[in-house]
Amino acid sequence: MVVLDKWCCCLSLRTGTLVIGWLGLMGSISDLVYLICDFPDMGITPPDSINKETFDHVMRSMSSSFIGTEIIGILMNIALLYAVNSNKKLMLLPWLITKGLGISVASLFFFLGGIACFFVENMTGLGSLLLTVGVLTCGIYLYIWLCVLSLYQRLSEEEIMNLRHNNEEAGVMATNRIDMSPPAYSKLQNV
């Protein structure tokens, strides 16, 4: 597994993860505010062929799912920031899992969408654009994900080193407390 030492070649993994967490939190909050303010219609007018009530129901359902997604994003970024500040590696896992799934789904979307466009007449340009944007976008998100994963691995290594150090100290303390004098019955045998 790839383990990175720095974030963007100059910042520590902790600082980089804090930047990632704060930017993600601000982005999720701003998206949530936008979705709540634009909740009723999202600025989309229904086509004449679709029933207005059905269209409104679908738009409300989509808006609700987008709002739920942003709330989950806010919680994941808060967990990420908490994990970095408190050195709790397990709190990184929700962010790593959700973002890993997101990268997988986005990669699949860009790849399949780009390939599908090549089979439609006059859409090869869009297919090329989808594949190019997909590779760039997913590449950037994969780098960000690898930075957080590297921090997770570093925290795991630090935890193991601390456990070993504590066990060694406990072993030294235990040997200092053991009475090294011969047992009392050995004096009886010499008589």
CA distance 116 to 12: 41
Q: What global pTM score does this model have?
A: 0.73
pLDDT of 104 > 60? The answer is yes
CA distance 132 to 48: 35
What would the pLDDT profile of 133-165 be if each residue is shown by its tens digit? 999 999 999 999 999 999 999 998 888 888 887
**Conformation bin of residue 159: beta by default, left when phi > 0, alpha when psi is -120 to 50:** alpha
Euclidean distance between the first and final Cα of the chain, in Å?
67
Query: Smallest Cα–Cα separation from 28: which of 83, 99, 97?
Result: 99
What would the pLDDT profile of 60-88 be if each residue is shown by its tens digit? 788 788 889 999 999 999 999 999 999 89
State residue 113's pLDDT score: 86
pLDDT of 10 > 70? The answer is yes
CA distance 183 to 179: 9
In the beta sheet, which residues pair with residue 11?
7
* Of the candidate ranges 7-11, 38-42, 46-50, the one whose mean pLDDT is the lowest: 38-42
- Measured from the Cβ of residue 58, the count of other Cβ atoms closer than 10 Å reads 12
CA distance 81 to 96: 13
pLDDT of 175 > 70? The answer is no
> What residue ranges in the chain does DSSP mark as E strands?
6-7, 11-12
Q: How confident is the model over 101-112, as a mean pLDDT?
A: 91
